[in-house]
């Protein structure tokens, strides 16, 4: 998405979103699309010349809405349409931005052009992410969409609405139907942490548990129009709750949460590093405007 263009010196700043599943990424995308002043870069492709059909499909996939998919993409591409990894996004963006610059040079005859890429992502507590996945599968169990992503025994627990039993099985079988969050940044967890941390990280971290604060930090980062965050958090589109399963006690939930830390060491290593990086950004935020507090 394009957030600023200076006509005197041709300038384009692109916001690129690494969408990690079950972290609130869809809500964040709709905020950017419907409540901000960001322009959907995909619209520019309509006037581009000299783009191959495959490039156009990949660009549309990368910059399209959360529900966008294209079955005509090559094998290996279509499955990544909604949740491309950082390296893939960066490669596609490099191609797209160079084509965009060529088109703009030809159209405007400017001598100077500057293009930047601001990449960000949202992470979520690994246990809560699994809870969200279970609810997602359960709510869609009638059509069998997720049956192949689970073992037969796991899916039986889903059909029964048995979250605790499902969690026990995915740990026992060592078969978790959800890719680790860090793999969307890099397959190596230490490299992924390196890319999201430091004074000038390659990828800016936002945290689901601090959704409003994340929105306000993003608004600062990409200069969103005033009032966009307020409008969104007061709308019906803003949700901060995590659903509960009636057959799971708080004691059981606490035990499962602790056990998940032993079964998902790299997930928690990445998430904890992400949270610490996020905390470093918070002093730049006026906390007095927050309607929804968070405690990390």
State which H helix or E strand residue 197 sits in. Answer: none
Token digits of residue 180: 């680790």
- The CA-to-CA distance between both ends of the chain, in Å, stands at 30
**Which residue, 86, 35, 29, 31, is CA-closest to 63?**
29
**Which residue, 177, 168, 165, is CA-closest to 247?**
165
Q: What is the pTM of this model?
A: 0.86
Phi, psi for 223 (deg, rounded to 5): 55, 55
List of residues 6+ apart from 104 with CB closer than 8 A: 10, 12, 110, 113
pLDDT per residue of the chain (296 residues) written in tens, 0 to 9: 555 555 566 777 778 889 999 999 888 888 887 887 777 666 666 666 777 777 767 776 666 555 544 444 444 444 456 678 899 888 888 887 777 777 777 777 666 777 788 899 999 999 999 999 998 888 888 777 777 788 889 989 988 889 999 999 999 998 888 999 999 999 999 999 999 999 999 999 999 999 999 999 998 888 787 788 888 888 877 765 555 555 677 788 889 999 999 999 999 999 999 999 999 998 888 877 777 778 77
pLDDT score recorded for residue 140: 82
Q: Is 2 helix (H, G, I), strand (E, B) or coil?
A: strand
Burial class (CB in 10 A: 0-12, 13-18, 19+), 9: exposed
Q: Assess contact for 125 and 149: CB atoms under 8 A.
A: no
Phi, psi for 85 (deg, rounded to 5): -80, 160
């Amino acid at each position: 998405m394009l957030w600023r263009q200076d006509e005197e010196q041709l300038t384009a700043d692109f916001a690129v979103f690494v969408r990690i599943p079950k972290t609130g990424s869809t809500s964040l995308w709709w905020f950017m699309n419907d409540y901000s002043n960001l322009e959907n870069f995909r619209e520019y492709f309509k006037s581009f010349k000299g783009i191959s059909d495959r490039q156009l499909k990949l660009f549309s996939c990368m910059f399209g809405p959360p529900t966008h998919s294209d079955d005509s993409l090559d094998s290996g591409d279509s499955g990544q349409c909604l949740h491309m990894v950082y390296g893939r996004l960066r490669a596609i963006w490099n191609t797209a931005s160079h084509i965009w610059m060529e088109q703009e040079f030809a159209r405007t005859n400017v001598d100077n052009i500057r293009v930047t890429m601001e990449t960000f992502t949202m992470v979520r507590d690994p246990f809560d992410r699994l809870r969200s996945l279970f609810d997602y599968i359960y709510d869609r169990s009638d059509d069998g969409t997720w049956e192949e992503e689970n073992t037969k025994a796991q899916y039986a627990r889903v059909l029964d609405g048995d979250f605790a039993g499902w969690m026990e099985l995915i740990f026992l079988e060592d078969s978790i139907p959800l890719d680790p969050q860090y793999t969307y940044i890099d397959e190596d967890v230490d490299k992924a942490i390196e890319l999201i941390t430091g004074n000038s990280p390659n990828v800016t971290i936002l945290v689901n548990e601090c959704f409003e604060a994340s929105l306000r930090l993003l608004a600062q980062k990409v200069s969103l129009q005033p009032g966009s965050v307020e409008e969104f958090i007061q709308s019906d589109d803003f949700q901060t709750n995590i659903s509960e399963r009636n057959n799971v006690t708080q004691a059981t939930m606490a035990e499962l949460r602790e056990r998940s830390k032993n079964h998902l060491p790299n997930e928690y290593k990445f998430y904890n590093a992400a949270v610490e990086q996020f905390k470093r950004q918070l002093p730049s935020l006026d906390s007095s405007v927050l309607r929804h507090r968070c405690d990390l």
